[in-house]
Amino acid sequence: MKILRASRMERCIGCHSCSLACARLVHKRLSWNTAGIRISSAGGLSTGFEARTCVACNPAPCATACPTGAFSQRKGGGVKVDRSLCIRCGNCAEACPVEAIYIDPEESFPYVCIHCGRCVPFCPHACLELADADEGRQEYGGGQGTGTGRDHGGQ
């Protein structure tokens, strides 16, 4: 089982190509807010960017918090999503320790990375990769990988 890993965020230029690819190809939406991976400035004195996306918890607190089974444990970490079961209570987002679940304000539906890897080839600087679950999981204070943004040197 593979998981998405933002392992080279020091190369990120904040182009949001990954988010747009996810929103359009996976979630069939145009807003990059509805993507399973969202990019933002690292803040402070840093000029870099960080990726906020699922870190593939195993067990996943969001799945445990879901009362309907709309979010269920994915083998290897993270969650599977059955949109038809979602009652839009928001429990999943509250339970996520890295704020990786986005609740759309219009329809109150949760959006999360499903580790499909569709975003990976759209990154012009190869910041993202699919890694084996056992090797790829990392611990983060919030989201995945923060880069300085200084190394934009290709793939």
- Please name the amino acid found at residue 153: G
Find the binder of ligand SF4 among 25, 30, 87, 126 (CB under 6 A): 87
Number of H helices, E strands in the chain: 4, 9
Of 43, 58, 65, nearest to 110 by C-alpha is 65
Rounded Cα–Cα distance for residues 67 and 124 (Å):
39
93 and 34 Cβ atoms separated by less than 8 Å: no
Q: At its nearest, how many Å lie between ligand SF4 and the CB of residue 107? A: 11
Size of the site for ligand SF4 (CB under 6 A): 28
Find the binder of ligand SF4 among 18, 35, 101, 119 (CB under 6 A): 101
Which C-beta is closer to ligand SF4: that of 96 or that of 123? Answer: 96
Q: Tell me the HSE value of 106 on the side-chain side, using a 13 A CA sphere.
A: 4
Residue 37 near ligand SF4 by CB under 6 A: no
Query: If phi over 0 gives left and psi between -120 and 50 gives alpha, with beta otherwise, what is residue 88?
Result: left
> Applying CB under 6 A, which part among 2-10, 13-21, 65-73, 131-139 lies near ligand SF4?
65-73
> Applying CB under 6 A, which part among 10-18, 24-32, 52-60, 120-128 lies near ligand SF4?
52-60
What binding mask, one character per residue, do residues 112-141 give for ligand SF4 by CB under 6 A, x or -? x-----------------------------
> Applying CB under 6 A, which part among 17-25, 63-71, 118-126, 141-149 lies near ligand SF4?
63-71
Burial class, 111, CB count within 10 angstroms (exposed 0-12 / middle 13-18 / buried 19+) = buried
Residue with tokens 């145009």: 30
Rule CB under 6 A: which residues touch ligand SF4? 54-57, 60-62, 65-66, 68, 70-71, 78-79, 86-92, 95-96, 98, 100-101, 110, 112
